Copies of this chain bind each other. A is one copy, B any other.
């Protein structure tokens, strides 16, 4: 019975996600769903990305948190459109929350929409939001076993950004082990290896984002 309730919720979610996707497509907005553990660096990567790309593309942000406006306050400082969603006890953003946020965003003035999900490696894997691409940020101090321990989110994602490369000398994290575990659950995944602190590897990430925007705006 619990399972049936969950299936109903997920079924309703898929339908609203499809509506969101249609609205985004009509406005030629590329939408990226950022997912990670707490503290892996979603907001840091977002801030670096906005600083670097805001002169090239029009950016919007939906910030999801169980509580607090700490992250959206940081984003607002960059002068881009941002909507904060407080999920309360919900462990993931859900499509109906995005649907409401899209009503409040200036859609005609956005090319690239970042949706920063709640910090969690489990629940966000279950809820489609209408995004075009899913991105998981995984940080070096979390350990190289995470794709094996949390397979669903790593299986479903299009991209994994390995962040905090600058900490490699100080922790037990083997990049080859991580890549092998990740490719084992998701052979087609795209991987970027970066440090938001030193800037290492970010240029490839920016190029990929711009190619995603181009793919949507020119079709």
| Interfacial residues, chain A to chain B (CB-CB below 8 A) | 2, 5, 9, 37-39, 65-68, 70-71, 89, 91, 118-123, 126, 139, 141-143, 145-146, 148-152, 164, 166-167, 170-171
Contact = CB atoms under 8 A, between A and B. Distances in A.
A167 B143 CA distance: 14
Interface centre among A122, A139, A142, A170 (most CB of B within 10 A): A122
B70 A145 contact: yes
Contacts of A151: 66-68
Contact of A149 (B2, B68, B126): B68
Interface centre among A70, A91, A149, A171 (most CB of B within 10 A): A149
Contacts of A122: 66, 89, 91, 118, 120, 123
Given A67-B149, A91-B123, A167-B171, 9 more contacts: A2-B5, A38-B149, A39-B146, A66-B151, A67-B150, A67-B152, A89-B152, A91-B122, A170-B170
Contacts of A89: 122, 126, 152
A126 B89 CA distance: 9
